[in-house]
Structure 1
Amino acid sequence: MTQSTSSPEAPTESDYGTHPGAAANRVFRWLSTGAGALILITLAAVATFLLAEAWPAIAMGSEELGETVSFIKPDQGQSLMEIIGYLIFGTLVISVIALLIATPVAIGIALFISHYAPRRLAQGLGYMIDLLAAVPSVVYGLWGVAVLVPFMQPFYQFLADYLGFIPIFAPPESGEIFTGRVAMSAGIVLAIMILPIITAVSREVFLQTPTLHEEAALAMGATRWEMIKMAVFPFGRSGMIGATMLGLGRALGETMAVLMIISPGLTFSAAVLQPNQHNTIAAYIALQFPEANSMGVNSLIAMGLALFVITLLVNMLARWIVSRRKDFSGAN
């Protein structure tokens, strides 16, 4: 003789309206929806402000703009668009240098913390890396000027003497002083500044690698490094790319450290060891803003609009790359 047990009926959709927590659920839903919409509204407001304030300088001719803005000199070929082109080039050069230096170091640190270091050492090292993100950029700038630049000058001289035939390592022209306050020094400082971001994101991605994947690779006779190549890297590829893009976005907008280190210039030169060749958009705005008049402020806002667009494109690219491999993410 069998005894059947009746299971409680699942509440229908109409029952949720009279549930005791229904009002709280509705309030929370509207609050979360409003918070998400607030981000989009803020982003649209910033873009609208930048475009509205920059348009007077963009629409004005270079000669007329040069009569009212001191740093716009049409007679020397420095129109607003040309200056923005120089600054975009310098921003990308310095940011790419920082990215090339920081990415392999950050991924190596993340692998050491997640797969090699003992737990206590990994926790302490992780905290120390995270603390680098809390150091103000002006401190990095002071350290770069007082410590890094004098330390790197002999190395720059060595590169210029033996690799000067390569345009990137071309020495300063005759008569110029080898100061060391060049794009390479700014890139090294930016690499240290973006190191915590890339390390933290990569570390969390590596820790999400399924344990069964790692154990399967080890069971097949793979060494730890082979296991990382077969299981960890394929799983975390999109996360590493996303972390790198986040670091690039951080480097693009850095101001004080670059302003304090680099000897600014406006050229399309690829020589990263020559002074007075490069500058970034953020550093140029900070340098010119205190003495800018009304139209000069509009011109600087136009440069800020260019930086806003570049940063937005970098983040959109990162999101697209990550979304391509969402089926392989740790959340699934």
Structure 2
Amino acid sequence: MAEMAVQGSTREAAAGPYDRARALSAFRFSDKAFYWTTRACAVSVLLILGGIILSLMVGAWPAIRQYGFAFLLTSRWAPSADPPVLGALAPVYGTLVTSVVAMLIAIPVGLGIAIFLTEICPLWLRRPIGLAVELLAGIPSIIYGMWGFFVLGPFLANTFQPFMIALFDGWPVLGTMFAGPPSYLSLFNASLILAIMVLPFITAISVDVFRTVPPVLKEAAYGVGCTNWEVVRNVVIPYTRVGVIGGIMLALGRALGETMAVTFIIGNSFRIPSSIFAPGTTISAAIASEFAESDGLHQSGLILLGLLLFVLTFLVLAAARLMLLRLEKKAGN
């Protein structure tokens, strides 16, 4: 019996190093598999992005060769002419105007909602308001467009726009900016729809970053007699400004590329109006409204508009990243 026990322990001792080596080999294999899998996922993003850029450039090349840099400076859009006359100035102008006006409306409202939810709102009211913000983010864009066309557009044309036209009539700059006649379809109507659509992004991200402020900082500010406004201005906003700006830039990227809702309510007019109450168009709306019936040089021009929108969005995101890096560096110093 003693000999058998010795032999068993000897076999276990001999099998021990073999089992450990086998386990280590399995661990190394799983670790390498995990490494290469995650690396392939990361590289696939670059490949997809490169494929999109390449396909846009190939599709837009006939228009680039035909129009060149003049494509950016021409406001006329006449695809039925012989030869077609295509210019991106009006869609680019409409895209920038609607996005800027939408952000001017959405930023203060979104930040106000976020500040109210995190600093002032009673506990029993936070849940309903937060749920309402989440529901706004989940509504499809085509529903926003239909609501804007059938409800918001008539309301603005019959009440708000006549009031603003009469209010600023005769003013040097604002009189032209808010000139009539009222219209169901206009740049301002599209901007308001965009503001409502990007509002949940600004609010949700701002609420999340505001909640990261250490309570001791706010308690210290309240302890020395600061009001709610002073705490928000001097403690909450400076502590979370990087995250807030990131949320704003994310919302701006959504506003630049929104398609269906804008197509419903902007009017799809290829011109540069002096009044925001006049119809206009954006890059995404122009592509959505004409691409199905386009061919040849007309289709290439629409693809070139898509390439311009891609470049514009990239520049906005790059500027946001640069701004965030500078803020982080300044905060570190």
TM-score by length of 2: 0.82
Aligned residues: 298
> By percentage of residues, which structure has more helix?
2
Measured in 2, the distance between the counterparts of 1:86 and 1:224 equals: 45
- Residue of 58, 61, 66 corresponding to 1:55: 61
Distance 1:237 1:61, change over 3 A: closer
Question: Highest Rg: 1 or 2?
Answer: 2
> In 2 relative to 1, CA 40–61 (structure 1 residues): closer, same or farther, beyond 3 Å?
closer
Aligned match for 2:326, one of 315, 321, 324: 324
Residue number in structure 2 paired with 1:293: 295
Superposed, which structure 2 residues align to 1:242-261 within 5 Å?
242-261=246-265
Q: CA-to-partner distance for each residue in 1:258-297, whole Å, 9 max, x for gaps?
A: 111122222333310123xx20011111111121113322
Gaps of 5+ in 2: 1-20, 72-76
Alignment of 1:136-151 (within 5 A): 136-151=140-155
**Equivalence for 2:180:** 171
Aligned positions of 1:193-272 closer than 5 A: 193-272=197-276
Q: Which moved more, 1:243-252 or 1:35-44?
A: 35-44
- The runs of 5 or more residues in structure 1 that have no matched partner are 1-14, 173-177
Tell me which of 36, 44, 48 is aligned to 2:42. 36
Report the aligned-residue RMSD.
Answer: 2.5
Distance 2:25 2:313 in 1: 46
AA aligned opposite 1:311 = T
Do the aligned partners of 1:235 and 1:328 also contact (CA within 8 Å) in 2? no
Q: Is 1:71 the equivalent of 2:79?
A: yes
How far 1:39 sits from its partner (Å)?
Answer: 1.3
**1:100 maps to which residue?**
104
How big is the shift at 1:115? 1.6
Verify the 8 A CA contact 1:194 1:251 in the aligned structure 2. Answer: yes
Residue 74 (structure 1) shift: 7.6
Percent identity reads: 37
Residue 258 of structure 2 aligns to a residue whose secondary structure is coil
Cα gap change, 1:243/1:43 in structure 2, threshold over 3 Å: closer, same or farther?
A: same
In 1, the alpha carbon distance for the partners of 2:42 and 2:319 equals 21
